[in-house]
Structure 1
């Protein structure tokens, strides 16, 4: 099976390509570095031509009010190219709870991406993942100084990027879901607790202060970013840290 992996050189995409090729498929990575610009449309037709499956793992360069325009333009271009080339399965990666956090521009943008795919004529699958373990330190850095890290107690169910990639690769070579598959890490933590675990592992002497107003995840209400009924990945956060 031939798969065009758009965003195939990034954190998830590069692992998806590796997993698919190791399984005997022909997965071709495409990105700006290979001459494919999903916003302008440059190189998109050529990237998609001849593929059976289109996997879109591109992401908006910003998390702000500009992000909906990115997903609108990129999906318009990819959908048009997919129709033209006869793509039989279109896969995207999204976020668990994405449609339940309207306060966040980026989440509204990802929900828009899902809706555009579902409304289109190409058989599709949406893989929704919980927060990547690789992004926990970035979330901590948003509200950190030399002495403290301020974090809300938002429930988080972190998943390793390798487990996300494996799930995307599995869905991509299967029959289109015509809907959503949720995947998640095996454990639920509060974000401030994850911060303390991370700092302790790194022997970082800073203190985590629980602050319900700190950072992007302060806008999240309840446990919408977790899913106990999702397909659970094997990697635990402390094992990943080690």
Structure 2
């Protein structure tokens, strides 16, 4: 099978490309660095022409309200080019619980992306993942202040990027779901505790201060970012990933 992996040079995309090619498929990564611009549309038609599956793993450069315009424009361009190119399956990566956190602009933008795909002309698959384990670096940086990091007690069920990539590649090689697959890691921990585990494992002497008003996850209430009952649970534990 032939795949166009849009955003194929990033954290997840590069792994998806590697997995697909290792399995004997033809997967080509596309990004700004390869001359494909999903906002202007430059290079898109050539990138997706004649491929069986498009996998869109691009991400907005910001988490604010501008992300809505990014996903609207990029999906409109990608779907138009994919339809013209005869693509039979379009897959995206989204976020578990995105539709349950309306106070976060970025999560509303991901729901918009999902809805554009659902209403589009191409059979589709949506993989919703919990927070990547690799995202902890960003979460720590967002609220770092000198010798302390402030984090809320928001329950998080982190998943390793390698596990995400493996499942995305698997879904993309199958029949379109025309629906959603939720995936998550095996461990549920409060974000502040994840921060303490991360800093301790790396010999970082900063202290984590529990602050339920700190950072973007302060807008998340309850366990909306943890796996729903129908989720597929990936094997990698956070402590094993740290080590």
- TM-score, length of structure 1 as denominator length: 0.99
Aligned position for 1:135: 135
Aligned position for 1:23: 23
| Mean CA deviation greater in 185-194 or 228-237 | 228-237
Shift of residue 112, structure 1, vs aligned partner: 0.1
* 1:235 and 2:241 correspond: no
Aligned position for 1:154: 154
**SS class of match (1:138):** helix
Shift of residue 70, structure 1, vs aligned partner: 0.4
Structure 2 unaligned spans of 5+: none
In structure 1, C-alpha distance between the alignment counterparts of 2:187 and 2:91, rounded to whole Å: 26
Superposed, 1:48-63 pairs within 5 Å as 48-63=48-63
**SS class of match (1:135):** helix
Superposed, 1:1-242 pairs within 5 Å as 1-229=1-229, 230-242=231-243
In structure 1, C-alpha distance between the alignment counterparts of 2:201 and 2:238, rounded to whole Å: 11
In structure 1, C-alpha distance between the alignment counterparts of 2:23 and 2:41, rounded to whole Å: 30
**SS class of match (1:226):** coil
In structure 2, C-alpha distance between the alignment counterparts of 1:11 and 1:31, rounded to whole Å: 12
In structure 2, C-alpha distance between the alignment counterparts of 1:106 and 1:207, rounded to whole Å: 28
- 1:208-242 Cα deviation digits (max 9, x unpaired): 11101000000001100001531011111111111
In structure 2, C-alpha distance between the alignment counterparts of 1:120 and 1:142, rounded to whole Å: 35
RMSD over aligned Cα atoms = 0.7
- 8 Å CA contact retained: 2:182, 2:228: no
Aligned residues: 242
- 1:144-193 Cα deviation digits (max 9, x unpaired): 12211100000000000000000100000000000000000010000000
- 8 Å CA contact retained: 2:183, 2:232: yes
**SS class of match (2:145):** coil
**SS class of match (2:3):** strand
Q: Which runs of 4+ in 1 moved over 6 A?
A: none
Structure 1 unaligned spans of 5+: none
In structure 1, C-alpha distance between the alignment counterparts of 2:30 and 2:90, rounded to whole Å: 15
Shift of residue 205, structure 1, vs aligned partner: 1.6
- 1:14-40 Cα deviation digits (max 9, x unpaired): 000000000000001000000000000
Shift of residue 203, structure 1, vs aligned partner: 1.8
In structure 2, C-alpha distance between the alignment counterparts of 1:130 and 1:14, rounded to whole Å: 19
Evaluate the alpha carbon distance shift between residue 189 and residue 31 of structure 1 in structure 2; reply closer, same or farther with a 3 A threshold. same
In structure 2, C-alpha distance between the alignment counterparts of 1:224 and 1:214, rounded to whole Å: 18
